[in-house]
Amino acid sequence: MPLARLSQLWRSTSFRISLIHAALLAAAIIGAVSGGWIATRGAAEREAHDRIALEVHAVTLEIQAEGLKAAGDAVMARAERPGALEYRLVDSAGRHVAGDLSDLGPKEGWRRLDFDGSAPGLEGKDRLLILTQRLPDGARLTVGEGLGRAEALRDTLFRTLLLWGGLALALGLAAGLYLTHRALERMNALVRTVRAVADGNLAARASDARPEGDDIGQLATGVNQMLDRIDVLVAAVRRVSADVAHDLRTPLSHVRQRLDTATTAATPELRNAALQSAKDGIDRAMRMFDAMLRLAEIDAGAARARFATVDLADLTDRVADAYRAELEASGRTLLVQVAGSLVVEGDADLLTQALANLLENVLKHSRAGAAVQVRLVEKREGIQLSVEDDGPGIPPEMFEVAVRPFSRLDPARAAPGTGLGLAIAAGVARLHGGRLLLEDARPGLRVTMLLAQGLMLSQGAAFRAADGN
């Protein structure tokens, strides 16, 4: 495997996790085998200890009941059985009575002896646990049991455990390497996609996207969704740039023409008129730039630092009163319905501008004599501040287009405006945790700023209506 490949493998998080798991598995296997070996070693010796003690007690009782010779015959019979213990019985004079054990000396009590396997009577035994006890009549009884067979069985068991544990560890490492290799291939494909986008290929997409798949599939899905969003935003920036250039070209061209006219004007009156017209064109461009900056500020969320307590009822009344004279002068009627004392946390200037933008749209686009209604109500989904007219409205399929920045439903862009009014109102609604809704009022259009319920501090129970009189 190339060195670079090994380096990439070592840097992989999944491979490091596999190594950690393998180390934990190895530690668990070693700990289990070591602990089991120690525990079973003690258990085998304790079991032999109990058997020997019980046998010594039984032979002692038999000697007391039947005599030494009868007990010797019984010991010889026991020694012939398969898997029997080892015995040696001598009388008070030290003469051998029964048993195959060689003379191990007069020392009494428990002993654990090691042999080379060739001692008389101990052929094939390398470890022996014995108990020597002197009887009341002076005889001496020795009973022992070899530990080698139990230990050999235990060693075989633990060697098998180590073998299969090592095999499981090796298979675990192999599986970890394989899965890490697969994960690296998929991650490398995802990285190549991101790098392709960074190099300017916005059409690049991850091929391993699986919304319901594993973590890498979900990550690829998220990357694709992000790239789709970036693609949309880039297209929107390009469109907005084109719209801005188009909208600024006309007033700047007019400014240039008026300045040219002023420089060649025959009379001071004509020069002043041309300069005033140029100033109006510059003012229009400045208003557009101001609107663009305000929209950028709203989208950035910087205005949240200025949030304070705002009485929406009072704000709605003040803005409606400011536009009432102009609306009624054009033959329109204005009806304001406000739920008493709806107090929220927000930016009063932005909320004022948003409502003003909605009323400006009514002035520009509704018919003369239209009935205009401004409503402020609280509903389960939040606070609703809406402006409605009974004019021609706009087709429902154009609702989404109407709230885009610089969108103008007039293809010729002959009507005054920047195309940012509804976009700013939508941004203000988002800033206050809500959204802007466009609905068919049948007839006319209803535009509603839905503000989040969590912004409300207190409310009044009264509901009042004012018709402007």
Is 91 part of a structural domain of the chain?
yes
Mean pLDDT of 262-278: 84
Q: Specify the residue for token string 């501090």.
A: 457
**Domain shared by 352 and 244, yes or no:** no
Tell me which of 66-80, 195-209, 242-256 is least confident: 242-256
Domain that holds residue 27: 14-152
Q: What is the mean pLDDT of residues 66-83?
A: 81
> How long, in residues, is the chain?
469
Pair (237, 282) in one structural domain: yes
Residue 186 burial (CB count, 10 A) = 18
Q: Where does a domain end: 300, 320, 340?
A: 300
pLDDT at 469 over 70: no
User: Is residue 295 domain-shared with residue 243, that is, in the same domain?
Assistant: yes
Task: Give the count of domains, the chain.
Answer: 3
343 with 313, same domain: the answer is: yes
- CATH no. for residue 375? 3.30.565.10
Residue 375 domain-assigned?
Answer: yes
C-alpha closest to that of 429 among 346, 327, 309, 337: 346
326 shares a domain with 263:
no
φ/ψ of residue 443, rounded to 5: -90, 170
In terms of domains, do 105 and 224 share one?
A: no
For 250, the token pair is: 């006309």
**Beta 308-311 vs 343-346: how paired, if at all?**
antiparallel
Is residue 395 one of the residues assigned to a domain?
yes
Q: For 320-340, write each residue's pLDDT tens digit.
A: 998 888 888 888 888 898 877
Judge whether 221 lies within some domain.
Answer: yes
Measuring CA to CA, which residue among 127, 129, 121 is closest to residue 148? Answer: 127
The torsion angles phi and psi of 343, rounded to 5 degrees, stand at -110, 130
Q: Which of 210, 211, 219 is nearest to 190 (CA)?
A: 219
Q: Looking up tokens 């029964």, which residue turns up?
A: 98
Check whether residue 59 and residue 86 sit in a common domain: yes
Tell me the average pLDDT across 386-399: 81
Task: Report if residue 197 sits inside a domain.
Answer: no
Final residue of a structural domain among 300, 331, 356: 300
Say if residue 103 is in the same domain as residue 250: no
The last residue of one of the domains, among 300, 327, 360, is: 300
The reported pLDDT for the residue numbered 455 is 55
Q: Based on the domain organization, do 281 and 349 belong to the same domain?
A: no
Tell me how far apart the alpha carbons of residues 237 and 242 are, in angstroms, rounded to a whole number.
8
How sure is the predictor about 102, in pLDDT bands with cuts at 50, 70 and 90?
Answer: confident
2 found inside a domain: no
Same domain? 318 vs 296: no
At 435, the amino acid letter reads R
Is 180 domain-assigned?
no
Residue 297 scores a pLDDT above 80:
no
pLDDT of residue 4: 57
Provide the CATH number for the domain around residue 250.
Answer: 1.10.287
The answer to whether residues 289 and 319 belong to one domain is no
**What is the rounded distance in angstroms from the CA atom of residue 352 to the CA atom of residue 374?**
13
- Whether 68 maps to a domain, the answer reads yes
273 shares its domain with 130: no
We report the CATH number of the domain holding residue 50 as 3.30.450
